[in-house]
Structure 1
Amino acid sequence: MESQFENDFNHQLRRVRMPMLYYGGRRLVMSVQRRVSADCPYTMVTGIRRGDAHRFNKGIADMVWSAGVYLSTHIFTRYEGEATYYVVAVQQAVQSYKKRYISGPDAKWFAYLRRQDLKDVVSIYDAESFEVIKNIELDTVDAQDIVISPNGGFIAAYDVPLLYKVSVYRPDGTKEASFSVDDGGLGIKSVCWSPDSQFLAVGGYDNKLRLLDTFTWKPVSIFTHQTKYLDNPEQEILIEREVMSGAPHAGYDIRNGIQHIPRLRPDHDRPNPKTSVTAKFNNLGNLMLTTSETIPTTACIWNMATMKSHAIIVQQEPILTALWNPKISSLLAICCEGGRFYLWQDRRHGNHRSNVTAINIPAEKFSISNIRWSPDGKTLLLMSKDMFCLAWPIDS
């Protein structure tokens, strides 16, 4: 299965105005189609096989497919503080609440983060009856988001950017733990669970990622992105280079040891300085990807068994998105500005244990802005400002 990704990809282009595209369950693609102005969007849900489309005339600030089997064809949207629940089959809204930030762990229940009486509250709902099972009052000042562990046993909520604080609760309302850092800079940027729910990765604006274990809720490792931490002689640094001036294809120099990593010096006198770190685990949890705004062209891959750097990918352009394949643990798709995307594979290639393949898109003026894997990992959705492209492997 993995070797198929070494073949050329077959691309199909379709000129449509779809700036936001999301894969859903049962071969559905959800898009935001903007009409008149950015303040007046509507949602289009299209079946890949049938080609039919459903439209919901509702303003949208953000949207997400609900998780699980039962909710695989349902949509949550957020607009002007109101959360709306859509069922694609009947093309209508079922419930609407004045709440914020939505997350669904599985097919049995889902959670809403909302404000009530100037306090943060997580409401647990039954997925079939839509009745409230539990209301959990958080100890946060202004929670930014909630992240539910893959096993459904924990709910992590991180606080306002001025506070570096994450609180963890069980679905029954029991407070499990709270973790904070006094010198955490501008607070927490993102929170991510490992697939086995054993670790919680907390990325902050202090250019550090702290890995908490679920036994002590203390950092077992702190990942930084300074040059002195990139000196593992066993790791490989893959640096993109052009084969020749103006050539459409790219190649990579594979090096070991200390290398110069292009860095940006953040301006702390301006709002929202680029100093944050985010993390993503592969589906097995044995590899973790981190990206830092201070080294925007670099993707760092860490070995979770040793807690050491495994590989470093240095691109010529800033990395916009990098996503693990949901089924193939050793496959990572990388999106940079331009007319190509990249696939990193953690498999031996000659004398090297990993390799990166640059794949060009056969279309003029197609500049990738975002990517999405299909749930089965067999198709990659590539998006530009006014077009999208589907890429998949060709059988040998």
Structure 2
Amino acid sequence: MDFTEIYKQTSGLVASSPQDARYILIAIENRLIVRRSDTFQITHAWTVEDKVDSGPSSQKGTTVGVASTMSASGDTTITGIGWSSDSRYILACSAGRGAVNVFSLLDEAWTARIQGGVEGIVKAEWAPEGRNIVCFSDWTLRVTIWSLSTGKATYIQYPKYGGKCFAFVPGSNLFILAERHKSKDSIGIYDTSSGYQLLRHFPVLTQSLSSLCVSTNEYIAISENTLEFKVYIYNFAGILLGTFLPEEEAGMGVRHMSWHPSGTVLAVSGWSDKIYLLNHFNWAPISIIEFRARIPAETIVWKEPVGWFEATHGRGFLPYDRVKRTMIARDTTGSASTGGCLQMEWNIKGTGLLVIWENSPTAVHVYQNGEKIRPQLGTVLLHSNAVICAAWNPVKEWKLGISCGGCSIYTWWKADGDGEIGECIGVPAKKFSVKELRWTTHGNGFLLVDKHAFACAFEVEDD
């Protein structure tokens, strides 16, 4: 694996281009920089300036309206970045001044700006088609969708705020938004192909909706507030299909929800050491995954070698040690209320489920499916320090990237013939700590993010 030099960034704002992974977008305070991913040469650079316009901002025929003519003065530090789906445009959100700047990769002179009104803009992201920008105001007042093509805006009042309260349905033209009108929760379904026209609006049974999760099979799972473990499943017509409320989870809310890629099974976890897999026939558990300190005899266990980083001076590539272990020690340093899983993620085909349990934070549990979705513990990866992030490869079915927060990363994958390979890889840098690990778009490398810096690591292809 080859590593790049260390480069500056702010607030972890680094992203590879989604279409071809040819470019890497970086934010440094109020500056945007685009580098080539092969040579890391700078190809584009912009500065987000604190300036005020009295009308719509437009250049070369493309217009984006301005929500207000109020002053745009304020902190120009960039708080969010994003690529359009075709990698032609990028956005930079500055929450301090309630504005979004848009730039073109094909024409560096072209710019557009969205200026929020008194409600501001705290978050902005691209819609899947890459020509609309979804802006979230402060105080949960409204969501505004701005069109780069027409310069017009569509307003949706009183959304439930949070990253888990809206979703674009994959493979369709639908936008799902949790809303709250007259102190009651509801779901709005909007058609993105017709200017976000409202298709359906229906009330839900939650007292205070906490999150929603949408499947490819037109199911919407919503969870109750953080103090009550209750999940409701609706279809897109607004019909309640099922309710899940396990007695043993009383008093604590839902922590994670994740649909299997097939859209037929919903994984739900709370604050106990259990994950419930609900089927789409009666929305009852078809299987329950439970953390157990005792490891089954058929499970493969890998362990990070003791002292490998010091022995290789942080520049080594060492395999995990295959060990015979029957027990995993529970973490007893947390409070009595801690438990459940810190992370839960299906792989690209749904044949594997990655779980990091809070009671065993140094271990990565990999559950594997057979012909039916009944995950069994197949592999456990043990580390010297707590795992802070792990991610499935977006292209390869059985490949993981793992970080424990130090100056090293870990990879695990299934080789041909059902064999397994795991490696501990030192990052050749001083004073660098991998706080976040992200796969590149094509799954051939990582973005390694520290607090104020980042580097890239790319797999070396065999000749």
- TM-score band by shorter chain is 0.7 to 0.9
SS in 2 for 1:329: coil
Select which of 173, 179, 194 maps to 2:260.
Answer: 194
Contact 2:95 2:123 in 1 (8 A): no
**Aligned equivalent of 1:159, options 224, 233, 253:** 224
Residue 12 of structure 1 deviates from its aligned partner by 4.4
Query: Contact 1:206–1:276 (CA<8 Å) still a contact in 2?
Result: yes
CA distance in 2: counterparts of 1:13 and 1:294, whole angstroms: 34
Moved more, 49-58 or 140-149: 49-58
**1:124 matched residue in structure 2:** 189
Q: Please tell me whether the aligned partners of residues 31 and 43 of structure 1 are also in contact (alpha carbons under 8 angstroms).
A: no
2:298 is the alignment partner of 1:234:
yes
The 10-residue stretch of structure 1 (131-140 or 23-32) with the greater mean CA deviation from structure 2: 23-32
1:195-344 to 2 correspondence within 5 Å? 195-228=261-294, 230=295, 232-244=296-308, 246-247=310-311, 248=314, 249=316, 251-268=319-336, 273-277=337-341, 278-305=343-370, 307-344=375-412
- What is the CA-CA distance between 1:118 and the residue it aligns to? 1.1
Could you list the per-position Cα deviations for residues 1-57 of structure 1 after superposition, in whole angstroms to 9, with x for gaps in the alignment?
xxxxxxx2343432222424455633576767667x99975334479x999864333
* Closer, same or farther: CA 31–166 of 1 in aligned 2, 3 Å: farther
Gaps of 5+ in 2: 31-73, 97-120
Q: Does 1:108 align with 2:108?
A: no
Change (3 A) 1:116 1:300: same
Per-residue CA deviation, residues 331-386 of structure 1 (Å, 9 max, x unaligned), is 0111211111111102369xx93221122222221111112223332342211101
The structure having more radius of gyration, on CA atoms, is: 2
Distance 2:149 2:414 in 1: 43
Q: Shift in Å at residue 74 of structure 1?
A: 4.5
In percent, how many aligned pairs have the same letter?
19
Does structure 2 retain, via aligned residues, the 8 Å contact 1:66–1:73? yes
Q: Residues of 2 paired with 1:225 and 1:62: CA distance?
A: 36
Q: Closer, same or farther in 2 for the Cα pair 1:72/1:22, shift >3 Å?
A: farther
- Displacement of 1:391 in angstroms is 2.3
Structure 1's 172 and 254: CA in aligned 2 closer, same or farther, altered over 3 A? same
Where 1:242 maps in the other structure, the secondary structure is coil
| 1:387 matches 2:458 | no
How far apart, CA to CA, are the structure 2 residues paired with 1:38 and 1:289? 40
Aligned residue for 2:79? 42
Once superposed, what is the RMSD of the aligned Cα atoms? 3.3
**Equivalent position amino acid for 1:103 in 2:** A
Match for residue 12 of structure 2? 19
CA distance in 2, matches of 1:96, 1:41: 24
Conserved? CA contact 2:14–2:24, under 8 Å: yes
Instruction: Say yes or no: does 1:360 pair with 2:420.
Output: no
Take 1:21 and 1:93, find their aligned partners in 2: how far apart are those partners? 29
Q: Provide the aligned length of Structure 1 versus Structure 2.
A: 378
Highest RCO, 1 vs 2 (Cα 8 Å, sep ≥ 6)? 1
| Correspondence for 1:4 | none
Report the AA paired with residue 185 of structure 2: D
TM-score, normalised with respect to structure 2? 0.72
Distance apart, 1:316 and its partner CA: 1.1
